[in-house]
Amino acid sequence: MSHTDRLLPALQGASEELARHGVRFEVFARLGESAHLVRDQDGALERRTTRELGVACRASGRGRAGFAAAAGGAARAGRQAALAALDALLPAPDPLPPRALLGSSGSALEHPAADPAAQEALTRELAEAFAAAPGRAVLVQVRVLTGTSTAALATGEGFHATAHAGGSVVELLVAPPEGPWRHFHFAAPTLADLRPDEVTRRAVEAALLATTGGAPERQLTDVLLAPAVAAPLVVALAQHLAREPADDAWARIRVASAWHLVDERPGPTGLLPLPWDGEGLPARRLVLASGGRLRERFATWELSQRTGLPPGGAVRPSYRHPPVPGPANLVVLAETAVSQPELLRLLNAGFYLAVPAGPVRVEPVTGRFALRAAAVAVRDGRPTTAHPLVELRGSFPRLLRGLAATGGDTESFSLAGAVTTPSLLVRRLEVA
C-alpha cells in the first residue's frame, strides 16, 4: 500500500460526512513518518519510530466557517474531524479558495523510507570522527532523524492533489574541555548528503571557538552571523513579515540592497519544496525582499480577500493546524558570495557569532528580537577575544536595512520550516 493510499479512508470518511451537510469543504490528510536514532556518549543506542497521521477539515456555508482535525487514518477519524468542523462553524467569511485557483506545480514522487542501518553507521562514524578529532571536545549525544511525509488535499468541488517531502537532520550535543556545551544542527535532503568527517570538523571548530571569557559591554556594533545563527533569525524575520502591518508601515521599511530573500516553494533550491501551498494553490516563488525593498507578502485566500494581496502563501505546520500565512522553503540568495576572510575584513571591528545558544525571542508587537550565541570579538578583521555567551538584540527593520554582505557558505536547516542561508554581515545591531 502506498503512503497516499493510507490517507484515503480518512479523506473519504470526512468528504462523505461533509458532503451530506451541503457545505463547501476542504479535507487535508497527512502522514508523517520519522525514524530517530540517539547515540549517547557511552555508545548506548535508542530508537524512536513515529507515525503521525491525521485529517483536517475546513467547512463553510451560510456565512459561517469552521475548522477541526482528528488523529488517525481510518474513516472514523475523517468523520470525527468533519463533525467537529461542522460543530465549530461560527460567523465568518468563506476561507476556501475557489476551485479554479487550485492546482499543482510539480511532480509528487515519494521519498525513500529511513534506513536504520545507515543511521546507525552515521552515528558510529560521527563518534569515531569525534574521538579522533583534536581539541578534546566530547560528543555527549548524537541524534539522527530521517523523516518523510505524504499529504493529500481534496475539496467538495472535485479537486484532489498529493505531495511528498522528506529530509534528514543530525543534531550533536558537544562538550568542549571547558565552557558551555554546544548544540549543532545539520540538515540535508538525504542522510547520504551528511558527511561525518565534515560535520565533525565544523562542529569541533565551532565548539572550541569560544569556551572561556566574559560578556562584552553593551554596544551597537557590526556582526557577522554564521549560517547556523543567521538561519533562525531569517525564519523569525519571515514569520514577522507574515504578520499584518498597516500598509503604510510596510512601505516605509527600508531594505538593504544585499537582501534577496525568497520563499522557493516549488524548488529546486531549498530543503523542502512542495507542489502546492497549504490550501492547494500551485506552489510559486515568493520574493520577499530584493532590489532594496520589501516585495511580496504571505497570504492565505481569506487574507487575500480582505487585503487584496495575492494568495498562495499558506502553510500548514501539521494536519492539526489550519492553513496560515507563512514561510515554507526560505532561501537567502547570495548573489555576491563573499569569502570568509573577506567577510571578516569587511566586518573590520565587531563580533563574529558562530553558534546559537537558544531560540530567537521575538516581541511580536514591536518586532524586536534577541538571540544568544557564542561569539568572538573581531578587531582589524582579526579575531581577538572569545565570549562564550553574548546576546544579539535588534529590530527587524534594523536587520532589514543593515545587511551589508552575504557569504558563500550556504547551509540548509530544518527549523520552523526549511531555511537555506549563507553567513550574513549586518551593520549596527546591539551586542551585550
Partner 1 sequence: MVKDTASGLAELATVLARTRIAGLVDVFIERRTEVCWRLAGGRVLAREALLREGAAVRRDHRLVSGDGLERQALAALLGVNARELPAFSTPAFPEPPRLEDTLPELPARWSSVRWRWSWAAVLDGATAVPLHRPELAEITFPDGHRALTVWPPPLPGEEEAPEHPPVQPRPGTPRVLLAPAAAAVLIHELVGHPLEGDLLLRGASPWRGRQGDRILTLPLTVTDDPTRTDLPGGFTADDEGWPAKPRRLLTEGTLVGALADRESAPALGVDAGNARRAGIHTRPRPRVSNLVTTAADPLPHPPRNEARIEVVTLSSGTLEPASGAIVLQVREAYALRRGERHRPLAPFTLLGTLAALRAGMLAAADPTLPVAEPGWCAKEGEVVPTGAVAPWLLVAGVEVR
Helical axes 196-207 vs 116-132, angle rounded to 10°: 50
Cis? peptide before 98, omega within 30° of 0: no
- Using CB under 8 A as the criterion, what x/- string covers residues 258-277 for binding partner 1? --------------------
Work out how close the CB of 97 gets to partner 1 at its nearest, in angstroms, rounded to a whole number: 17
Distances 274 to 39, 263, 266, 284 between C-alpha atoms, Å: 32, 11, 6, 10
Which among 409, 160, 413 is positioned nearest to 280, based on CA atoms? 160
Residue 54 CB, nearest approach to partner 1 (Å) = 6
State the binding string over 94-133 for partner 1 (x if CB under 8 A, else -): ----------------------------------------
**Least distance to partner 1, CB of residue 266, Å:** 29
Residue among 8, 61, 71, 346 that touches partner 1 (CB under 8 A): 71
One of 5, 16, 87, 380 touching partner 1 (CB under 8 A): 87
The least CB distance from residue 200 to partner 1, in Å, is 21
Smallest distance, partner 1 to C-beta of residue 363, A: 6
| Interacting positions 349-408 with partner 1 (CB under 8 A) | 357-358, 361-365, 368, 370, 372, 388-389, 391
Residues 294-323 that bind partner 1 (CB under 8 A): 320, 322
State which of positions 173-232 bind partner 1 (CB under 8 A): 175, 178-181, 215, 218
Stretch that binds partner 1, among 44-52, 293-301, 407-415, 421-429 (CB under 8 A): 44-52
**249 lies in the binding site for partner 1 (CB under 8 A):** no
**CA dihedral over 367, 371, 377, 381, signed as positive or negative:** negative
Partners of residue 145 on adjacent β-strands: 36, 169
Side-chain half-sphere CA neighbours of 426 within 13 A: 31
Listed in order, strand segments (DSSP E) in 280-381 are 285-290, 293-294, 314-315, 324-325, 329-332, 337-338, 350-356, 361-363, 368-379
Residue found under cell 583534536 = 134
Residue closer to partner 1 by CB (options 322, 417) is: 322
CA dist 239 and 220 (Å) reads 25
- Number of residues forming the site for partner 1 (CB under 8 A): 56
Q: In terms of CB distance, is 29 or 188 closer to partner 1?
A: 29
Least spacing, CB of residue 355 vs partner 1, in Å: 13
Closest separation between CB of residue 172 and partner 1, Å?
A: 13
- Sort 244 into a burial class: Cβ within 10 Å, 0-12 / 13-18 / 19+: middle
Is there binding between residue 76 and partner 1 (CB under 8 A)?
yes
48 binds partner 1 per the rule CB under 8 A: yes
Which CB atom, from 131 or from 432, has the smaller least distance to partner 1?
Answer: 432
Backbone angles phi, psi at 196, to 5 degrees: -60, -40
- Closer to partner 1 by Cβ: residue 5 or 87: 87
Q: Supply the minimum distance, in Å, between the C-beta of residue 265 and partner 1.
A: 24
**65 in contact with partner 1 (CB under 8 A):** yes
| Closest of 322, 275, 289 to residue 92, by C-alpha | 322
Separation of CA 325 from chain center: 14
Q: Are 34 and 145 in contact (CB under 8 A)?
A: yes
Q: What is the dihedral of CA 328, 65, 27, 416, to 10 degrees?
A: 20
**Phi, psi values for residue 78, rounded to 5°:** -60, -45
By beta-carbon proximity to partner 1, the closer residue of 143 and 265 is: 143
Binding site for partner 1 (CB under 8 A): 44-54, 65-74, 76-77, 80-81, 84-85, 87-88, 90, 92, 140-141, 175, 178-181, 215, 218, 320, 322, 357-358, 361-365, 368, 370, 372, 388-389, 391, 432
